[in-house]
Structure 1
Amino acid sequence: MSIQSSPGATTTVAGALARSENVILGFASFVIGILFWYAVTRAGLVKLPGPFQVVSRSADMMANGQIFTDILSSLRRVFIGFVLGAGAAVPVGFLMGWYKRARGLIEPWIQFLRVIPPLAVIPLAIVTLGIDEAPKIFVIFLASFLSSVIATYQGVISVDRTYINAARVLGASDGVIFARVVVPASIPFVLVGFRIGLGSAWATLVAAELIAAQSGLGFRMQQAQLYYDLPTIFVSLITIGILGLVMDRIVVWTESRLTQWQERV
């Protein structure tokens, strides 16, 4: 008697193999990058600290607890600014995409603000909000909001009109169409906006911590710059990259769970 595997089981196995391959390729890429970094610094082609110097400085910063204080400070600022920015971007993006009049009123302001770099708002933030945590979080909030709102808006206007028309033919009201058709179809765009917003939040962090910060990865880099302390700068850079990558993977994992209906390459 022959045993035939079901299509679902085949798909599961193929997905597991693809994930394993991605992990292996990612690890190989990491190893190659470290070896290239070591070879370049060892040969003296660039005046940068090598991997062993950076690891040694990282161990020192862990031993005195400095790195953990900086991580917690930066994570708190990025998390609060990003959550507030993305949380505000979703309803505004849906409003712009669903109601044409709201789009006409709001979109010019969004486009106007988008061409102003969030870093240019720092002087205004200091004058109006002081030098405590509020201006730092506000700058990160603005960067996250402007990155996420456009993606959400684009998701709404990109919904296939066939789905909306079919729902109307079946007697669905506008509220039902919005909740059961538009929102689910827009989720991939919303989550892509979150990923872009996260990147913008981390990119803005260093400049935000110029505002009278006493701790944080960006603050530590600025202090290290004054003393030409390249290993400390590298530790902070790598830490920001790792934290940003972890948060991005969380969003990707969430997207894969919320959009299982979507065909993927």
Structure 2
Amino acid sequence: MFTCTGRISMHEPNLQNVPRTFAIPCEYLTMHTGTTDHVAEFNCRNIFKAARGYVIVSADYCQLEMRILTHFSKDQVLMKIMKSDMDVFKSIAASWSNVPEEQVDDDLRQKAKQLCYGIIYGMGNKTLGQLLDVTEMEAAVFMDTFYKTYPAVKEFTQSVKEECRDKGYVETLMKRRRYLDDIRSSSVSIKSAAERQAVNTTIQGSAADIAKAAMCSIDTMTDAIDPKPRLILQMHDELIYEVPEAYQHYFITIIKEVMENTIELTVPLPVKVKTGPTWGSLKEIEF
């Protein structure tokens, strides 16, 4: 199944929503004999295990939607950050809040990350305020400051809305269209929802296109491997495969090369690769 933006969605079971870990108070575990104030942690993903002779390989695009936003907007500050080896959201937090990067703590970094995705998903001040646990007015100030720091982003989002009003549709990077008739509605609320969908579809839909194009290329590039690696799950910007152990290193080279070069953007598309015997025990590969 697919969302309106083109992302793959799942249900019964929703494997995209399997939690990494959850905690159970030890008092509820029959094998526990210690004090009752302890908790035991379990990783649900460890139950997904590679078949004998295989390993699980995960390849995940780093900040894919933010990089697409940067590509479309051509914001010079964001482009400089995306082309560096810096922590993307830490750097964005530093430039957005006008503080040295070494002074950016985890809380400020998280706020910057949520703010970025709030813009991508077209959140209003009220929803963003709830997400950041601040007032609606404070959220409005955050948003305004962000747009002043990255003015090309605001220009881009406005141009997407205006073009959608003119044409009646938006297009992704790979020219897939979504028609949004409601963007011409006389109702302010209906029109606003369509404007948010226009921006979101342009960015999230492009990310979905890139992931699917990468999947197809990887499938073609691995035809010579026998037995062939199997795609077992797509987690939005992440592709997870079951790979014969004998071809693990060869496949990792292929998947990283293909994903990072599926499409040429104005900024790099780095991919983080992990491998392990179970989904819950994946370890990052250093290149």
User: TM-score over 0.5 for the alignment?
Assistant: no
TM-score relative to the length of structure 1 = 0.30
Higher relative contact order (CA 8 A, sep 6+): 2
Q: Which has more radius of gyration?
A: 1
Relative to total residues, which structure has the larger strand share, 1 or 2? Answer: 2
